Amino acid sequence: MSRHPAVRRSPTKNTGFSWGRFPMGPSGIVVYRLFRRDHAGALHFLGLNFYRHDTRRDMAIALRAACHRLRDQVDGIDLQAMGVLG
- pLDDT of amino acid 83: 87
| pLDDT for 53 | 94
What is the per-residue pLDDT across 8-26, written as a single tens digit (0 to 9) for each? Answer: 666 667 767 888 898 988 8
| SS3 letters across the chain | CCCCCCCCCCCCCCCCEEEEEEECHHHCCEEEEEEEECCCCCEEEEEEEECCCCCHHHHHHHHHHHHHHHHHHHHHHHHHHHCCCC
The per-residue pLDDT for range 31-68, each reduced to its tens digit, is 999 999 988 888 999 999 999 999 999 999 999 999 99
Q: Is the pTM of this model over 0.85?
A: no
Mean predicted lDDT score pLDDT of the chain: 86
